[in-house]
Amino acid sequence: MASPTIIITGSSRGIGAATARLAARRGWSVGVNYASNQEAAHAVVAEIRAEGGRAIAVQADNSRHGDVERLFDQVAEELGPVRALVNNAGVPGRISRVEQLSEATLRRTLEVNVVGAFLCAQAFLRRASTRHGGAGGAIVNVSSMAARSGSPGELVHYAAAKAALEAFNYGLAAEVAQEGVRVNAVSLGLFATEIHATAGDADRLQRYAARMPMGRAGEPMEAAQAIVWLLSDEASYITGATLPVAGGR
């Protein structure tokens, strides 16, 4: 019996890469999606294959409809029908107060974090939902505790995008609950990834880690374990949930 196939957007590094590795170890064939870092994506694929797993890397911008359709078609053609989607791709934009935020940063943050999740979910549902003749499956949306804190003075635009993602998560889950598709989210706290440097503050991780209830930042694999669990049959009666993975926040 062929292993089920999963697409993980933005999985060339960080939490996405950890999720790809863990999913492969749990028996999934993995579509490793990346926007620009081809070398890192192929390194993740090489690691999975070295452990006996199946994976391919596919470049696609999740905010572009044509790219998303090509991503799903290529992964299905090479690995088999897609049974799970992790909407992990996200950009924080630059740290900024709202009145200083550029239009370009605002639009890109919303396009990747919100529009991209919608487009990927659409592509998945048209292929996996029983309403469209599919066999069903599961989606996990990767959100942030910023959706609750608002991240004032730093990343209000990112927080707003993640709040929209969580509303999408809840609404979509109810919409497709009787069509063989479960939809859940993880709300991540402070994690040891490159997102802080990308946002323009490489020291942010170190400053905030000591303030966490557990006294440290999370590791990418700790997020991956929650994501992969929500995709599994062990979570078969869970849909519409947003699971905090935030070290006590």
Sheet of 137-144, strands arranged across: 55-59, 29-34, 5-8, 82-87, 137-144, 181-188, 242-245
Residue for token pair 């990834």: 193
* Residue of 34, 158, 208, 237 with catalytic role: 158
Residue for token pair 């066999």: 135
- The answer to whether residue 158 is catalytic is yes
User: How would you classify residue 93: left for phi > 0, otherwise alpha for psi between -120 and 50, otherwise beta?
Assistant: left
Name which of 90, 245, 93 is nearest 155 in CA terms: 93
Pairing of β 137-144 and β 55-59: unpaired
Name which of 127, 60, 128 is nearest 89 in CA terms: 60
Q: Which residues are catalytic?
A: 158
